[in-house]
Structure 1
Amino acid sequence: MASVIQQVPADDLVLLRVTHSNIKSFLADIRFYRQMTVEAVKEKLWKKCGTSVTSMRLELYDDSGSKISELSDNMRPFGFYSPQDGYRLHVIDIDPSSISAGGWIDDTSLVEKYTISNEAYDKLDGTFRKFKEHLPQKDTTTSEAKVRLSHLPVCVKIYLAHGKYSNSQTSKNNCM
């Protein structure tokens, strides 16, 4: 049995780029059915961008950026406004008390950050700092350097002559 999406004609779906007036970083490509009401489109957008249906105004722009229309009648079908693939649907949040209105979502510098003193952090259990202290210390001294100074002229000659190291495994190990 075919799914509901497979039963819908392809020309009934439209792919639009969605932008938001308050959230500059919000950009999404969303598919809509042309037979949906404008209110149903707003409900779908509410789930994507967070602006409530009652606080949302929609504007439709063509692919060149020219405004085609404002979707003002919630009961009209979305297809009435003749949306095409590649058009842009712009969400305008008219709620002045919206969380996105003051730039709180885009600009994280407006949000107060949690800070803790080093002394208070040291008293906590299960911190990364305590985990790191319990790790075994890595020995940074090696018994043999990869490139021995006495082999350096040989390595240079092999590399220059062939454009790469020789096929000999010992030469590779000594020259890397």
Structure 2
Amino acid sequence: MASRLQLGGDNTVLLRVTHSNIKSFSSEVRFDLEMSVEDLKEKLWKKCGTSVDSMLLVLYDDAGSKICNISDSARPLGFYSPLNGYHIKVIDLDPSSVSSGGWLEDTSLVEKYTISEEAYNKRDSNFRKFKEKMLSQNATADENKLPENYLEDLCKNIKAGDRCEVESGEKRGVVKYVGKVENGAPGFWVGIQLDEPLGKHDGMVKGKRYFECPPRHGIFLRPDKVKVGDYPERDPFDEEEI
């Protein structure tokens, strides 16, 4: 081994690695010929998941003929005289291995992780909240450029006491306030008491009360999202059941 390393001027070898259970696994890896077989197995374990204790290594030449089992963990890899282009096959001897039966290749065999909508929303950080935050920041940046009389003309036909329907979800309610909102985006807003507890507050926003209503019945919307007219409260018993 020593003379071969000296003549070659290199103490590494490029080998192809395959796995007995993972048919799609094939990787060319450069190994140090002086590394122990034990260290070799540790490195292969990190690549293919077969534990060191359950691993049998078989060395093949570049023509596919078996040369030997790499079995002595205390010896260096160079003891087995592998050459560039040779092939090491990892044999997984564990019948209950996670790699057996195609579990690491056929994703249809893997139980998919699911999370309920409630549990997802309770997480302090999730993609939905991040997206909403970014959209809110962008919207705030855009709204800060709006004039102070933004949408004022649309408020001419909206007054407190009007029945209304809001664009989002066709929720209904009664107009309680029309005007500007302190510490809010520039322009005009419509404060609404919804018929159902689908709002965000009780008419108080950022410490200032604009109108009175039950908790979670209050909401502020831009006037272009509000339609006033004959919108009586819906009778839940009139809804068709399936």
Q: What TM-score range do you get, normalising by the shorter chain?
A: 0.5 to 0.7
Where do residues 58-97 of structure 1 align in structure 2 (5 Å cutoff)? 58-97=57-96
Provide closer, same or farther for how the CA distance between residues 74 and 107 of structure 1 changes in structure 2, counting only shifts above 3 A: same
Task: Give the partner amino acid of 2:10.
Answer: D
Report deviation, 1:16.
0.3
* Aligned-partner Cα distance in 2 for 1:45–1:115: 32
1:95-117 per-residue CA deviation (whole Å, 9 max, x = no partner) reads: 1121101210011121234679x
Q: Gapped runs of 5+ residues in structure 1?
A: 1-8, 128-176
Task: Give the partner amino acid of 1:29.
Answer: E
* Aligned-partner Cα distance in 2 for 1:88–1:98: 23
The runs of at least 4 aligned residues of structure 1 exceeding 4 Å deviation read none
Q: Gapped runs of 5+ residues in structure 2?
A: 1-7, 122-126, 130-242
1:153-172 per-residue CA deviation (whole Å, 9 max, x = no partner) reads: xxxxxxxxxxxxxxxxxxxx
- Which protein, 1 or 2, shows the higher relative CO under an 8 Å CA cutoff with sep ≥ 6? 1
* Aligned-partner Cα distance in 1 for 2:113–2:54: 32
* Identical pairs, percent: 65
Residue number in structure 1 paired with 2:51: 52
Task: Give the partner amino acid of 1:25.
Answer: S
Report the count of equivalent residues: 124
* Aligned-partner Cα distance in 2 for 1:91–1:48: 11
* Aligned-partner Cα distance in 2 for 1:90–1:110: 25
Larger radius of gyration, structure 1 or 2? 2
Higher strand share: 2
1:97-154 per-residue CA deviation (whole Å, 9 max, x = no partner) reads: 21101210011121234679xxx7xxx8949xxxxxxxxxxxxxxxxxxxxxxxxxxx
Residue number in structure 1 paired with 2:98: 99
Q: What's the secondary structure of 1:76's corresponding residue?
A: coil
* Aligned-partner Cα distance in 1 for 2:75–2:44: 17
TM-score calculated relative to the size of structure 2: 0.44
TM-score calculated relative to the size of structure 1: 0.59
* Aligned-partner Cα distance in 2 for 1:85–1:11: 11
Residue number in structure 2 paired with 1:23: 22
* Aligned-partner Cα distance in 1 for 2:58–2:24: 18
Task: State the Cα RMSD in Å.
Answer: 3.0
Residue number in structure 2 paired with 1:168: none
